[in-house]
A and B are shown apart, each in its own frame.
Chain A
Amino acid sequence: MSKPGTDDASIRRSTVQSYSTRGSKAYEDPMNKNFLYGDITVRFIDRIAFGPADKVILDIGCGTGFVFDELYDVFLEHGMRGIGIEPAEGMRRIAVEKYGDDPMFDIVEGSFERIPLADRSVDKIISTLALHWVRSLEVAAVEMRRVLRDTGSLDILMIAKDDGANFKKAIVAALRKHLTFAQLMDTATLVQRVRPAEVKAAFAAFDDHFTVDVAKFTDIVYGTFDEHMKWWTARSTPVIAEVRDKDRFMIDLRTELEKIGTEKGIPFDTAYYWITAKAKDDGQN
């Protein structure tokens, strides 16, 4: 049986467009960068190891250049070159504003399924919270394998299948007042919802030279309504774009989220995967 939402092998145009407009500025908001997914991303980036052979680093779905912001000194210290690819023009423009004149970085248009680089030209692939947007993990994995050297490595942070399961129930309760059943079902398939074993199977293209692992992490992050809205609106622009009366929707959303609130705040039950691919003969396995 086919998985819903996998009829087209590329990221949805509406998703890219909505990220290009409303999403770009919201991503740069300090509250988005420092809370929940921003914090998770920083912790992920800080744990990525770079070796002497890592010279060309590819960040897929680089957004506004957050990874390069965080790793600027590491790139400088290791003499690495960073290539960021991003399909959303609005996001890319901000990244280019930051790094367009810096010889250490290149920001180019592209996506997981269409990487504008030569075969076996990259030493390490990084991606943070972007892989879940692809329509086909298999297609994305084949393309990533194409550009990665046989001695390279990969570190990807991906949203897990059950990320925010309880939080999203409150979101859906509010959305039900504003979207039709069909519209809600359409948004349900915007992102990949896969288990670790399915991720590993999708990365079969790496089996020739790499060992692929998928580690799952969970956490509960409490916040106020405003704190949650900073990241949620930044990351849910394709969904919000469907709602006509956005002011009324935000009132309904506050009501639903406050229903699940505790004395610590509104909980978000986060779950994410750290996907790694290491060369089988790199002497570290």
Chain B
Amino acid sequence: MDRTKIAEKLKKLIEEDTQRSITSHDEKLDLDSYTMMLTITFVKEELGIELDMDQLDFDAFTSLNTLADLVVQKAKASALSA
């Protein structure tokens, strides 16, 4: 799964929910907990990656890149264990 494409998909979702534009994938997102939950749901339903709530922390939601890294990492781990 391509990191940039994932970041773009997440960008679209977060921009729509927060009604603000994100100028770069490194920009600090400052998401509220509802938008974080929306992102987790999106990753599960649209990208097919289930993020483990007990292993997640707020740092993963710092930017689109940190989020995309998390998804890529989780996708790789899932592929290895399959």
Contact = CB atoms under 8 A, between A and B. Distances in A.
9 contacts: A1-B45, A4-B38, A168-B32, A181-B53, A184-B33, A185-B33, A185-B37, A185-B53, A188-B37
B54 A182 contact: yes
B62 interface: no
A180 interface: yes
Contacts of B32: 165, 168-169, 172, 188
Interface in B22-81: 30, 32-34, 36-38, 40-42, 45-46, 53-54, 56-58
A172 B46 contact: no
Contact of B41 (A1, A168, A176): A1
Main secondary structure of the interface of B (DSSP, over half): helix
A261 interface: no
Contacts of B37: 4-5, 185, 188-189
Contact of B34 (A4, A176, A182, A195): A4
Nearest to A187: B33
A1 B46 contact: yes
Interface residues of A, number: 20
Given A4-B37, A180-B54, A182-B54, 5 more contacts: A1-B42, A172-B33, A181-B58, A182-B56, A188-B32
Contacts of A185: 33, 36-37, 40, 53, 56
A182 B53 contact: yes
Given A180-B54, A181-B58, A188 B34 contact: yes
Interface string A29-53: 0000000000000000000000000
Interface of A: 1-5, 165, 168-169, 172, 176, 180-182, 184-185, 187-189, 193, 195
| Contact count band on B | 10 to 19
A240 to B, nearest CB: 15
B2 to A, nearest CB: 20
A195 B46 CA distance: 22
A119 to B, nearest CB: 35
Given A1-B41, A1-B46, A188 B53 contact: no
Contacts of B38: 3-4
B33 A4 contact: no
Contacts of A2: 41, 45
A181 B34 CA distance: 12
A226 B30 CA distance: 27
Nearest to A183: B53
Nearest to B16: A195
A3 B39 CA distance: 10
A154 to B, nearest CB: 26
Contacts of A169: 30, 32
A184 B61 CA distance: 14
Nearest to A184: B33
B66 to A, nearest CB: 14
A181 B45 CA distance: 20
B26 to A, nearest CB: 21
Contacts of A5: 37
A195 B42 CA distance: 18
Q: Which of A5, A172, A193 has the most CB of B within 10 A?
A: A193
